[in-house]
Chains A and B, each alone.
Chain A
């Protein structure tokens, strides 16, 4: 842990502020978990972290430094931005997983699929057949929309059913992510858990886009 830039006392908890003299620290290389005084774990007590976020906000926010020196203002702005970035990222369970994996050196999303051939566009193997079918139906629906015709009721019904199925699949993915996250936090078989989470994140992105596309097409029809 670093020392306070002002009074030299060793910093405890968040590295953004000195617990001793209260000085806002110049922002140094740090990670979002540290910013909120957290260990690098995927399971977190949302309410407790929110309380910490509010507590730190009260101390760091630029509103508290309106009459301070230019340097203090800049520190406050940078520290508050970092605090907000940290809370925005970590409060979301999916973003939290992505962030932690990247922090631990894993390639996630575009980084491992390669730019342009993002995993978002490549269906997971077990969904290939179903997605092919779904895309045909979507195309049919869009065609009839373009022609100004009434959409085939059967196609609409099939798509609505598919939407439900894929939305449920999203929930399954999220549940699986939580389970793998717990395994990661347990410390046993981390590499395996990480590989599985990366796969789940890809699957999640893909399915989420599918659900969005189907929803959009169905709203236009309705």
Chain B
């Protein structure tokens, strides 16, 4: 059986799902969790050996601790860098501990330094995808080679291409890129297949790092996107950064300690503020209590009102795109029958209040849809789309998705102004034809600059590519008539072809994607051929299972060296040893199931130990650094964190004073 899986490649978490009969089901990882945190850490390189080291990485929950213990080898939120150039990530560098490889030139594809090596964002995403692929193969017991991957609806061409490249590097044939809000609508639509009356649905999708809003008409199985809008750099991450900056400012002001140059302390603090943020979705108040270098404690209560006031500007940035989408759809809020909430950040009560206000929900006695897990619904929708492509399920037989291009496509004309070729919200696939000519007698080349965006001037839009039309037969100026055809495919990715009409010659096009990898580069980055060899799936599975077993056995062997080990009870020690001995016993055999079960059992037996180690890593990071690790601080300046909004800390401090006066700091 050949499976097509649906993958949600998220900023914070990634998931893989498939259609089990008529139901989309999320596939858990080896640790039993449906969410694979989008964290990648480079493992210590093997020493010795003459060949270039073959890097291995850790992905997901197991990478969490490394994020704090060895932040210089770890990366999270890499989705923010997909399809972007060195020039346009200055803002991200202020807020995220991304370390650019020192030798990246402007105009090149970004590379991120992890330990001794550097990787493109697509490669890092490919590691996450490969993990998901392996999880699916383990669960399904069959090779997985085809996938539908979701992307933010507002992703531009370069960001989509970078995602598709990542899939290829991970050994996946990416059959379709689907927009996340549309996928969510599919998951909901399937859930309520009984209804066939036409209705209008708005999907509000606030994830870890991206925001999308899409308005769809649902009619007899056709999901037709009418308008979409968004911000590909807006999400829960921004809230985390805001809280982090406030905490860093307060720690400096109250305790005279500046943690900004300590990446591990920043990660530990970040973990604490994220926990506070999550608590504030259900509790009226959250507490921060962190031990600082020198023994002081940073203790702080964050009442929900203060928190909501603080994050209001971030959430407010979602209102504009919603109103624009309504305007583009030519609809009033009252014409939206239903609103679907997607993305972990929509658990925040203030987000729900804002959505209610934008779409006039409670005024009309309506509630937004939250029945499906907002973290899982996109992956489920991707699985539904996979099933549509597969054409094998009666449940999805009548479903069809008609999506749109989120951004207008244009060409730079004289004076740097943009001549629109295709308007945003055009149903895809879509095409347009433009004619060009020469300005000089005998000219054989015409340069064309393609941009994406809504601004009047090309320099304010996203540069997609520069095309050189070559091989135009020499003619007097203005005589050649070159027809250029732009085609946006069902993935939202642009294809271009050209023809000189007077001579009938096919003009050659040399495409220089502004922020993309060439085919050859992608080919060279394909993770490993081993993964793609389909010849012996069973053997590969066995090898992988043993490798997994080796990893955890190695960790258990080193466990007694760790201080946390002594804090386990004798019973817990005995349980770990029993599980270890069992795994060692089944390891050499060829019973795949037995090896996996023993690995899972040992993982479960060591869970509390792993938690204790995590706690230790956090407090160690906060308590301060030894001389040796001071070398590991991020290159100063570039990675320094600044308040994302100049007024934010002041506002928080004011509010904080008002809220905390009279409270004892015990």
Contact = CB atoms under 8 A, between A and B. Distances in A.
A87 interface: yes
A63 B431 contact: no
Interface in A21-70: 54, 57-58, 61-64, 66-67
Contact of A63 (B219, B389, B426, B487): B389
Contacts of A78: 487
Given A84-B427, A84-B429, A88-B427, A64 B490 contact: no
A63 to B, nearest CB: 6
Given A54-B219, A57-B400, A63 B429 contact: no
A85 B391 CA distance: 26
A141 to B, nearest CB: 20
Contacts of A67: 389-391
Nearest to A60: B429
Main secondary structure of the interface of B (DSSP, over half): strand
Interface string A154-195: 000000000000000000000000000000000000000000
A66 B431 contact: no
A220 to B, nearest CB: 16
A81 interface: yes
A100 interface: no
B402 interface: yes
Contacts of B388: 63
B197 to A, nearest CB: 15
A101 interface: no
Given A67-B390, A67-B391, A81-B487, A88 B400 contact: no
A78 to B, nearest CB: 8
B401 interface: yes
B222 interface: yes
A82 interface: yes
Interface in B416-444: 426-432
A147 to B, nearest CB: 24
Contact of B222 (A54, A66, A84, A85): A54
Interface in A80-108: 80-82, 84-85, 87-88
A89 B335 CA distance: 24
A77 interface: yes
B389 A85 contact: no
Interface centre among B426, B427, B488 (most CB of A within 10 A): B427
Interface centre among B219, B389, B426, B429 (most CB of A within 10 A): B429
Contact of A66 (B176, B429, B432, B487): B176
B426 A66 contact: no
Contacts of B489: 62, 77
Given A58-B400, A63-B490, A67-B390, A85 B430 contact: yes
Nearest to B221: A58
A80 B430 CA distance: 8
A62 B429 contact: yes
B390 A63 contact: no
13 contacts: A57-B222, A58-B222, A61-B400, A61-B490, A62-B490, A63-B389, A66-B176, A66-B389, A77-B490, A81-B431, A84-B428, A84-B430, A87-B427
Given A64-B391, A67-B390, A81-B488, 20 more contacts: A54-B222, A57-B222, A58-B222, A58-B400, A61-B400, A62-B429, A66-B175, A66-B389, A66-B390, A77-B429, A77-B490, A80-B490, A81-B430, A81-B431, A84-B429, A84-B430, A85-B431, A85-B432, A87-B427, A88-B427
Interface of A: 54, 57-58, 61-64, 66-67, 77-78, 80-82, 84-85, 87-88
